[in-house]
Amino acid sequence: MEPTILSLASLELNELEAFVELMFLAAHTDGTVSAEERAAFRGQVIKGTHGQLDAAMVDEVLAQIEARVQSGETQRRLVSIRLRLRDPRKRHAALVHAARVVLADGVLALDEVAFLERAVAAVGDGSEDVRALLREAREPG
């Protein structure tokens, strides 16, 4: 799939929340969110929204998402993300953002790859490949 250029600032609030939730789920795959992972998705959101969401608002959204994620039910969360991101290009872009988060700490663990495979199956359109997604995530954006 061709890289999707998408400004997070162009997303509706429920879509932006779906992006952040997917990124958080990716970071939380191993049960913890490293400082590097948290900084990566926080930075992506603040930069991607062109400052429309300040750090305090991002932290508030993250706290709400973290509370939901702690309840488990990852598969249900992935289905919810897909329902909120109806446009396949937005779903693909969200998957790329999630891949950037798992790469943020410089270690790509097997459980992170397994999560991306589950996320691609649940959120993607069927044409995504995790290796291609990771390649795209490594490209400067």
Number of structural domains (the chain) is 1
- Asked if residue 67 is part of any domain, the answer here is yes
- Asked if residue 6 is part of any domain, the answer here is no
User: Which residues form the domain of 97?
Assistant: 11-138
Task: State how far the Cα of 134 lies from the Cα of 57, in Å rounded to an integer.
Answer: 28
pLDDT value of position 8: 64
- List Cα–Cα distances, 122 to 28, 75, 117, 118, in angstroms: 17, 8, 9, 6
Label residue 7 left, alpha or beta by phi (over 0 means left) and psi (-120 to 50 means alpha): beta
Looking at residue 105, its amino acid is D
Residue pLDDT, tens place only, 40-57: 777 777 777 776 667 787
Could you tell me the pLDDT band of residue 84, with boundaries at 50, 70 and 90? very high
- Asked if residue 88 is part of any domain, the answer here is yes
84: CATH: 1.10.3680.10
- Asked if residue 2 is part of any domain, the answer here is no
Looking at residue 137, its amino acid is A
- Asked if residue 95 is part of any domain, the answer here is yes
This prediction has a pTM of 0.81
Q: Is 99 strand, coil or helix?
A: helix
